[in-house]
Amino acid sequence: MALNLYQLKAFFTVARTRSYTEAAGKLFLTQPAVSHAVAKLGRSVADPLFKRAPNGMSLTETGQILYKACETVFCELEKAEERVAAVRNKSLGVIRLGATVEFGTTFLVKYMKRFMNANPGIHVDFQFRHELLAPLMRDDLDVIIDCGDHKAEGLEKLPLFREEYVVIASPEFLSEHRIKAPADLSVCKVLSMDKGGRWWGNLMNALPQSARPELKNITEMNHIRGIITAATEGIGAGFVPKYCVLKELKARTLVNVFPGLKLLEDNFYIYQKTWKAGLERHRRLAAYLKNLKTAGLRLFKG
């Protein structure tokens, strides 16, 4: 059995994307060329590499063995490319970095300039979206920063930040509705990412049952920045990550309604494919992110 590197690359790309058409686009080949290369590899090992599955296709046992081997081989080749590039003072490659919309646009971009200046050989592209895991798993993204608790085979998860929340309102709204305690939210309009008020869960779950407000007047708004603007205009009280409103709190256009109340926090994690975690450009990015310090986000200590 002679394994051909070109065929293995075609197979590996199809296995990651679960699509011959997508694989062809990534490899800059025609779909028939990719299909032919994978078929020829299957004949070389005298066993099918893919089988039909409810969601399209999945790997056979032989396919899984080859896939694991490909992860090792192509990761080592990428590491070698990085080392050769470093010797020649050339680019270490590209990182396609994904993050949730508000975190990415409000925080991440603001703090990435220092990393990019310190690492001119690493090119960073950004994607800000709500769904991050799927594009990571099909290698449309290399690294994602997300507060979802994702579990998938071959995925590395690194704790990053604890995300603090705050209840916000304009000074005028606060004075008009005389909000002194969480229970007072029962009689005023609140802004939420969902109509059922689940968005306010980190406030509710921080309170004893008897002290929880009954959110009767909810205005649904499916974007954090919209909630912030609406709160600033006095439309209602909002509940948002603290890092999003540092400027507004400092300028007093918004007020932290319950500054002494300890709210529950969410956790941000760095996710990447395990086989990519050893790449120099990935190691540098992870180390940089894990040492960032800013108000509204606390480094994860356990």
Q: Where are the domains of the chain?
A: 5-86, 91-163+266-299, 165-256
- Non-local CB neighbours of 176 within 8 Å, separated by 6+ positions: 234
CATH topology (fold) of 165-256? D-Maltodextrin-Binding Protein; domain 2 (3.40.190)
Same CATH topology for 5-86 and 165-256: the answer is: no
**Cα–Cα distance measured from residue 283 to residue 178, given in angstroms and rounded to the nearest whole number:** 50
The reported pLDDT for the residue numbered 295 is: 61
Q: Is 166 helix (H, G, I), strand (E, B) or coil?
A: strand
> Which amino acid does the sequence have at 187?
V
The reported pLDDT for the residue numbered 157 is: 95
Residue 92 vs residue 180, higher pLDDT: 180
Note the pLDDT tens digit of each residue in 141-174. 999 999 888 988 889 999 998 889 999 999 999 9
Q: Is the pLDDT of residue 261 over 60?
A: yes
pTM for the structure as a whole: 0.77
CATH number of the domain located at residue range(s) 91-163+266-299 in this protein: 3.40.190.10
The reported pLDDT for the residue numbered 291 is: 87
Q: Does domain 5-86 have CATH number 1.10.645.10?
A: no
With cut-offs at 50, 70 and 90, classify the pLDDT of residue 26. confident
The reported pLDDT for the residue numbered 293 is: 75
- Non-local CB neighbours of 108 within 8 Å, separated by 6+ positions: 97, 99, 126, 145
Note the pLDDT tens digit of each residue in 203-259. 999 999 999 999 999 999 999 999 999 999 999 999 999 999 999 999 999 999 999
Residue 53 vs residue 38, higher pLDDT: 38
